[in-house]
Amino acid sequence: MAQKTDSLTVAVGGIGFEIFVPRMFGRKGEDLRVYTYLYVRENEISLYGFESEADRNLFLELQNVTGVGPKLSLSILGTLTTEQFAAAIIAADYDTLTSVKGLGKKGASRLVVELRDKLAARQGIAAGSTELPPAVDVDGKRAEVLDALRVLGFTEREAGARLQASYDSELSLEENVRAALRKSD
């Protein structure tokens, strides 16, 4: 593995693949897990790599926002952690968002408008709420509970509200789903 400031080259079966990364991770010679995304456009094929699935998922989510491409997405992930970005979007913290190189006030506003409700629901905050996430979903358990509620027929907004009202990090996935089902609107 060779490292540059914005990419790493991984040798697989004698072929070196350049993978663009938001920030460096791992050391030369050590085993490394890289979560990748192959970006294919008419004039470009690029490989993007991430230290965690959460980073890759946020990168993919950002690709759906008007005016945000892979370079700006990498800049966001290189400046803010996934949790910091989610908190900044939910709180509409434009100072934090505009600290990202290449992201101005207009772009930050577009991100808030397009992502706020989605990210808030994943954190178990009712859509449109101004409160900050009660806890960072480090292990992904909140997201699993939210997914289970959606599978059971709840909208993202309903599932987010139930999750916010009932989630307990000490409970198992099943216990949290049961607790959310017991909550009434």
Domain range annotation of the chain = 2-122, 141-182
Q: Whole-model pTM?
A: 0.63
Residue 133 has pLDDT above 70, yes or no: no
Average pLDDT over residues 162-176: 83
Which CATH architecture does the domain made up of 2-122 adopt? Answer: Orthogonal Bundle (1.10)
Write the CA distances from 57 to 37, 82, 103, 115, 153, integer angstroms.
10, 10, 20, 13, 23
Structure token pair of residue 151 = 């599978």
Is 136 or 7 the better-scoring residue by pLDDT? 7
pLDDT digits (tens, 9 = 90+) for 45-100: 999 999 888 889 999 999 999 999 999 999 999 888 888 898 889 888 898 899 99
pLDDT for the residue 54: 86
